[in-house]
Amino acid sequence: MSVSQEAQILRVIGDMKGEVGEIRGQLRELNHALASLTQKFDTLALQAAMNISLPERVADLDRRVSVLEASENKRIGAMSLGGWVLKALPYIVSTGIGAGIMEIIR
């Protein structure tokens, strides 16, 4: 093997060392990114575990809202009846007075 061939082989080996170094650096970056993602997934899993009762709580709140709506509808109905009576009261009283006067006149 000649000196020029040895030099060329050494140059190729040096280039390969550089490329291997770059690959190692990229692997290190991927390792850090993977560790970061793992930590984020762990956090998400913990938050999901903390919220496992959320559907039950929503269903409970839905039942409570339904009860409150029914109560409010009853209250509004009672107020409507009371309002109607108050509006009709002058007519009822005047009819009663008129009927009383007619009885007195007869």
pLDDT score, position 4: 84
Give the residue extent of every domain in the chain: 1-52, 54-106
pLDDT score, position 64: 95
- What is the DSSP code (8-state) at residue 51? T
- Within a 13 Å sphere around the CA of 85, how many CA atoms are in the beta-carbon half? 6
Q: For residues 37-64, give the mean pLDDT.
A: 91
pLDDT band at 96 (very low <50, low <70, confident <90, very high): confident
Q: Does the CA dihedral 61-64-66-69 come out positive or negative? A: negative
Q: For residues 91-104, give the mean pLDDT.
A: 82
Q: For residues 72-84, give the mean pLDDT.
A: 77
Distance CA 55, CA 60 (A): 9
pLDDT band at 29 (very low <50, low <70, confident <90, very high): very high
- What is the DSSP code (8-state) at residue 52? T
How far lies 27's CA from each of 20, 24, 32, 82, in Å? 10, 5, 9, 79
How far lies 101's CA from each of 16, 59, 89, 106, in Å? 121, 62, 18, 9
pLDDT score, position 26: 94
